Amino acid sequence: MNLIDSDAVIDDIQRGTTGTGAISIITLLEILRGVDEEKRRRVKELLEQNYEVYRIDNDVILLTCSLYNQVKTEGKPIPDADLIIAATAISKGSALVTGDRHFQRLTKYGLKLVPRR
């Protein structure tokens, strides 16, 4: 099952469609923080009905730390939220559907990418 990044989910919402696959708990948070408070609960329910939500577990935590150290060594940081999303995809064996280019730097660590439609 593909893991869908925030940009792809937002595009689907703006088109009035929903995709299939899974989202990270981080993606859920990124989307909900931009939703008006009175609509937030309903949007959360709709997202949880249409996508499997992957939570942060020990594998994700440890892999996020490893990725963080790798990109820190390279001197080109990637936002923590995106490292968590990448670690989630890798640990679940999922490809990440995204339009964010900085994820390409993580393919050498096992991240599989699917271009956004």
Q: How far apart are CA 86 and CA 11, in angstroms?
A: 19
Beta bridge partners of 97: 4, 114
Q: 4 has which bridge partners?
A: 97
User: 114 pairs with which residues across the strands?
Assistant: 97
State the chain's mean pLDDT as an integer.
94
> So what's the pLDDT on residue 104?
96
Q: What total number of domains does the chain contain?
A: 1
Encoded tokens for 38: 């009175």
Residue 11 burial class via C-beta count within 10 angstroms: exposed 0-12, middle 13-18, buried 19 and up: middle
Nearest 10 degrees: Cα torsion 101, 103, 109, 114: -80
CATH (domain of 19) = 3.40.50.1010
Domain, as residue range, for 92: 3-115
pTM of the model: 0.93
Residue 36: count of CB within 10 angstroms of its CB: 7
Contact (CB, 8 A) for 77 and 71? yes
pLDDT beyond 70 at 109:
yes
When pLDDT is cut at 50, 70 and 90, the band that residue 117 belongs to is: low
